[in-house]
Amino acid sequence: MLVLALDTSTPAVVVGIIDTDQESPLAERFVINPRGHGELLTPLIQEIVAEAGLTMSRLDAVVCGTGPGPFTSLRVGMVTGASIADALGKPVYPVCSLDAIGVAAAEVDDLLVITDARRKELYWARYHRGVRVAGPAVGKPEDVRVPGVVLAGHVASLYAEPWELPDRGIEYPTTATLVAAAGDALLTGAEPGEMVPLYLRKPDAVEPGARKSVIQA
Amino acid sequence: MTVVLGIETSCDETGVGLVRDGVLLGDALSSSMAEHARFGGVVPEIAARAHVAAVVPCVNEALTRSGLSLNDVGAIAVTSGPGLATALHVGVAAAKAYAMTLGVPLYGVHHLAGHAAADTLEHGPLPAKSIVLIVSGGHTSLLLVNDLVLDPVVHLSDTLDDAAGEAFDKVARILGLSYPGGPAIDKVSRDGDPHAVKLPRPLTGPRDPKLGFSFSGLKTAVARHVEAEQKAGRELAVADIAASFQEAVADTLTRKAILACRLHDVSTLVVVGGVAANSRVRSLAAERCAAAGIELRVPPMRLCTDNGAMIAAVGDLLVRAEAKPASLSLATHPSIELTWAQLDRSVAEVLQNQ
């Protein structure tokens, strides 16, 4: 089965094509550019399709990271994934982006995946041998910190030292881990779940209060 | 003949339309307006979230209404600016994905060019020269349009502050009326005296820019009047105030639009945008155009407000003009002025087929 995987929940644009019968992807790209997801994503997909010697119509499914992540770039990836799948008439499988890091450390008993949520906060989830046992959620670093865990995620290296915790050194989702996180649903062709972005925060909007007077006192 | 699929997500409406050879084949619209109502205006993040949920369903609904499938689509056009940045990204990402997957050309379109093109879907091609008044919650602009896609659009004026529709929303709030303010004010004004409250006609003094617009001061004038009345312990004559405000807006808009026609020797005025739905703006425009011998064109309401069909209409004109498509790295331009209907193209490229 030929699968296009993509994730835009972190500063990286991650795209790849994998044949599920093989270990390594046919082609993939990894570009760190937190403000360029919208411009980069589709051309990168076009590149890997060509590099893999394929056409879009050969793809059997799409796997798409659903965050949590900064909203605008997360949306770019999810809308792209959903639109490609719609145009192909093929399913799109949503995957929590943190799961695509968690599955990569399946040997770890207690893994804490953290990514940058901006506003001095972290997105996080905890994994036992690759299976999510808590989260995803968002919180202040001091509330996210847990003793005795192993860290992963692209900001783990920033917290490993002050928190005195080991860093597993897995920073971002990859083609292979996104597909692995999609699991049996993808491989058996089960009905995919809904493509709902994991924002974990409400929109910043305040209902207006009383009007200010325009007449000077 | 190429079927063009147009996608619009610049504000709070997710719109998709299909146009072929100047004919609207079908469209779909999903609005997040109700979700913004309690905030008194459009919240960008709420709008963007709604676009994510709506864009693919709208594409499919528009296709169903057209009796077409995605395989019939020969080109994609999308609003790539101006508008709310985070909202624009959704439509542009979708447009690129469809264009790449279907293997069809992509065109980035200026939102205001879409508004100008909307009327062609109802009343046929625009004449060689027209004045377009775009008046909505986000824009108040006078444009001199020659060939919409081959010639540069001359931006005659923009509002210096609030858009007219924004002023309607704010005045409605001052008067305790509902959001959006346009329909609410239009309704209560029917029972009001448009001359009851003396309100200014902004930027109509001898030294003001002749075609300039400004509505912030008018809104404040209403607020001052309301506060003075309240301070004096008088009951607010809401209908009279609303009618007087509406008259001031309609008077200013139509006066300047007619003047633009005269100054540029143009005999067609096109009024588009949500505020074109206002009954007094329409009736006064009709009255003054008739008196000045100017042909007035106002598209039906569903084409006046933001929609995907108008973007498809521009895409259709671009396809027929054999314009060069955009690349898949097409960027968004949240605050770009309208010069060319097609964005992300150098002037040389636009001119190559002339």
> Is a pLDDT exceeding 90 seen at residue A207?
no
pLDDT at site A14: 98
> Span B168-196, mean pLDDT?
95
Q: What percent of chain B has pLDDT over 70?
A: 97
CB contact under 8 A, A43 and B328: yes
> Is a pLDDT exceeding 80 seen at residue A217?
no
Same domain for B154 and B92? no
Residue A217 with chain B: CB contacts under 8 Å: none
Q: Which region among A19-23, B55-59, B119-123 has the lowest average model confidence (pLDDT)?
A: A19-23
Around B24, how many Cα atoms within 13 Å sit in the side-chain half-sphere? 26
> Where in the sequence is the domain holding B108, given as residue range(s)?
3-117+304-350
Same domain for B186 and B71? no
**SS3 per residue for B311-341:** HHHHHHHHHHCCCCCECCCCCCCCCCCCCCC
When CB atoms are compared, the residue of B173, B227, B329 closest to A215 is B227
Q: How far is A108 from chain B (nearest CA, A)?
A: 35
Give residue A79's Cα distance to chain centre. Answer: 13
When CB atoms are compared, the residue of B39, B100, B227 closest to A214 is B227
Same domain for B317 and B291? no
In a domain, B17, yes or no: yes
Same domain for B261 and B331? no
pLDDT at site A210: 77
Interatomic CA distance for residues B214 and B97, integer angstroms: 40
When CB atoms are compared, the residue of A41, A78, A207 closest to B52 is A78
- Give the pLDDT confidence of B89-107 residue by residue, as tens digits: 999 999 999 999 999 999 9
> Is a pLDDT exceeding 80 seen at residue B291?
yes
Same domain for B256 and B228? yes
A/B interface, count of CB pairs below 8 Å: 117
Q: Which chain A residue is nearest to residue B90, measuring alpha carbons? A: A76
> Span B270-297, mean pLDDT?
96
Residue B329 with chain A: CB contacts under 8 Å: 39-40, 42-43
In a domain, B122, yes or no: no
pLDDT at site B347: 44
> Span B166-191, mean pLDDT?
94
Name the amino acid, one letter, at B116: A
CB neighbours of A183 closer than 8 A, spacing ≥ 6?
none
In a domain, B290, yes or no: yes
Same domain for B158 and B54? no
pLDDT at site A62: 98
pLDDT at site B345: 67
Candidates B59, B96, B222: best to mutate against A (most CBs of A within 10 A) is B96
Chosen domain end from B278, B298, B318: B298
Residue A205 with chain B: CB contacts under 8 Å: 39, 43, 45-46
Same domain for B281 and B162? yes
Cα dihedral value B334, B338, B344, B349, nearest 10: 180
> Is a pLDDT exceeding 80 seen at residue A28?
yes
Residue B236 with chain A: CB contacts under 8 Å: none
Residue B92 with chain A: CB contacts under 8 Å: 38
> Is a pLDDT exceeding 60 seen at residue B346?
no
Cα–Cα separations (whole angstroms), residue B279 to B54, B159, B213, B298: 31, 21, 20, 12
Residue B228 with chain A: CB contacts under 8 Å: 215
Element (H, E) at B254: helix B238-263
pLDDT at site A209: 78
Same domain for B181 and B132? yes
Tell me the CA end-to-end span of chain B in Å, nearest whole number. 20
The interface predicted TM-score of the complex, written ipTM, equals 0.95
Is the C-alpha dihedral spanning A106, A112, A116, A117 positive or negative? positive
> Span B225-242, mean pLDDT?
95
Chosen domain end from B276, B298, B320: B298
Pairing outcome for strands B3-8 and B73-81: parallel
> Span B272-280, mean pLDDT?
93
Q: Which two tokens stand for residue A1?
A: 């089965």
pLDDT at site B348: 42
pLDDT at site B349: 53
CB contact under 8 A, A78 and B60: no
How many domains, chain B? 2
- CA angle B308/B312/B314 to nearest 5° reads 120
* pLDDT, mean over chain B: 94
- Burial class of residue A50, CB neighbours in 10 A (0-12, 13-18, 19+): exposed
Strand partners, A152: A113
Q: How far is B43 from chain A (nearest CA, A)?
A: 7
B165: domain CATH number is: 3.30.420.40
Interatomic CA distance for residues B21 and B5, integer angstroms: 12
Same domain for B150 and B278? yes
Same domain for B153 and B106? no
> Span B48-62, mean pLDDT?
97
CB neighbours of A23 closer than 8 A, spacing ≥ 6?
A176
Q: Which chain A residue is nearest to residue B217, measuring alpha carbons? A: A214
What does pTM read for this prediction? 0.93
> Span B284-309, mean pLDDT?
95
Candidates B5, B7, B30, B52: best to mutate against A (most CBs of A within 10 A) is B52
CB contact under 8 A, B101 and A204: no
State the pLDDT confidence band at B354, using cuts at 50, 70 and 90: very low
The 3-state DSSP class for residue B47 equals: helix
Same domain for B151 and B96? no
pLDDT at site A211: 75
CB contact under 8 A, B52 and A75: yes
Same domain for B97 and B134? no
